[in-house]
Amino acid sequence: MEERIINTGLKGKVAEEIMASVFGQLSDGWGENDSRNNGYWLFGKIDQLDGEVVILIDNARAKMLGGKFVPNKLFSMSDEEVKLWMARLIKKTAKMELADEHDNVGWNRSNNFQLEYLGYKSNPTVSDAYFVYDVLNGRKVEKWPYEWMSTVAAENVKA
């Protein structure tokens, strides 16, 4: 299978898990009952290549699923558009969990509340998800204050 590789600039298992969980949520979580999401999760996956977390996009324009052709919605997006799309869904997923479970904690860089919707092994925090969100949005993360350093930030920013 031929794949397009999108470099993210991120390192570590926590960042990989947060991003992989987005595709998981689209297929088996909050997005599973919406067939429009099939055009995303069916064609994308997250992996590590030479120590960097990468987004892999299948180069197929469509696939069969349940007897129907599903178009690849990531195919025509630029690398930057895919990263921005991923960042938006990380934020959406975190905010959904915070609203569902803990409406008194917010989406912010210093929140160390552990997220379940964006993790399955590493127990990522809101701060971890926010760091990945910032990097995918192209923000300068090396300026994060030390006290905001999450697990992901510690793996990615030289202190």
* Residue (of 41, 11, 16) closest to 26 by Cα position: 41
Residues forming a β-bridge with 5? 56
* Residue (of 62, 64, 53, 50) closest to 21 by Cα position: 53
Query: Which band of pLDDT confidence, cut at 50, 70 and 90, is reported for residue 1?
Result: low
Query: Which band of pLDDT confidence, cut at 50, 70 and 90, is reported for residue 142?
Result: low
Residue whose token pair is 């987005």 = 22
Residue 66, φ and ψ in degrees, nearest 5: 60, 35
**Over pLDDT 90: what percentage of the chain?**
35
Residue whose token pair is 């992901």 = 152
Flag whether pLDDT at 6 surpasses 80: yes
At 154 the pLDDT is 62
Mean pLDDT of 1-6: 86
Distance CA 159, CA 156 (A): 9
pTM of the model: 0.85
Chain segment 42-69, per-residue pLDDT in tens: 889 999 999 899 999 998 888 888 888 8
Query: Which band of pLDDT confidence, cut at 50, 70 and 90, is reported for residue 129?
Result: very high
Sketch the domain layout of the chain as residue ranges. 3-156
Burial of 21 (0-12, 13-18, 19+ CB in 10 A): buried
Torsion of CA 97, 117, 82, 45, to 10 degrees: -170
* Residue (of 126, 93, 76) closest to 22 by Cα position: 93
Flag whether pLDDT at 130 surpasses 60: yes
Mean pLDDT of 109-132: 86
Residue whose token pair is 């989406």 = 107
Flag whether pLDDT at 126 surpasses 70: yes
